Structure 1
Amino acid sequence: MGTLPRCRIALLRGMHHRLLVHVVWTTRGRAVQIDADRARRLREQLPRIAAEERAMVLAIGIVADHLHLLLRLHPTTQLPRLLQRMKGGTAHAVNAHLRP
């Protein structure tokens, strides 16, 4: 998966798009690990990561063992890359900052 050629991106400019994705992921083994501090950090970091990947977080639902995201994607957003960055980046940052 590379970037789209310029000619194909130019064709997308005049098109209307609304790509909505509902994403759910769980903690490892569905362990109860998301406390209020971790949830706050996730709410701060996820929209920033999404914006860097040309996406927008429309809604976030977080409970102790999983989270839900409603995302709006740009047609050129690479969903696997976005999810890899969200899952890996937030897990690393949250765990490093809040490790006892």
Structure 2
Amino acid sequence: MAYTNLRVHLIWSTKDRKPLIADEFQEELYAYIGGILRKRKHSLLAAGGVEDHIHLLVSMHPAQPISDCVRDIKSNSSV
């Protein structure tokens, strides 16, 4: 029986590092991203950031490449 434990620290910024992520929306944004990840069999272990960038610690399912995971999060959580 194989066991895989893939944990990835993802970081990205807003376009042009503009301060677009208001404090009052951060928790809602992280919860939304957690839902995106759960639908793809990943787990959001931790999330944080400031108005111009976010950090995510993700436990990845081995079937999906990291690049696809990032694409899915960014395309589904952008404004």
TM-score normalized by structure 2? 0.89
Larger relative contact order (C-alpha < 8 A, sep ≥ 6)? 2
From the two aligned structures, give the one with the greater helix fraction. 1
Please say if residues 55 and 77 of structure 1, whose CA atoms lie closer than 8 Å, have aligned partners that are also in contact: no
Percent identity, aligned pairs only?
Answer: 27
Which residue of structure 1 lines up, in the alignment, with residue 30 of structure 2? 43
Matches within 5 A, 1:8-87: 14-87=1-74
Alignment gaps of 5+ in structure 2: none
Structure 1, 21-30 or 83-92: larger mean CA deviation: 83-92
Could you list the structure 1 runs, at least 4 aligned residues long, displaced by more than 6 angstroms after superposition: none
Paired residue total: 79
Q: Deviations over 1:26-83 (max 9, x none)?
A: 0001111110233132122111111111111100012110000001111112322211
Structure 1's unaligned 5+ residue stretches are 1-13, 93-100
TM-score with structure 1 setting the length: 0.72
Q: CA RMSD in A?
A: 1.2
Q: Which has the higher strand share?
A: 2
Contact 2:23 2:50 in 1 (8 A): no
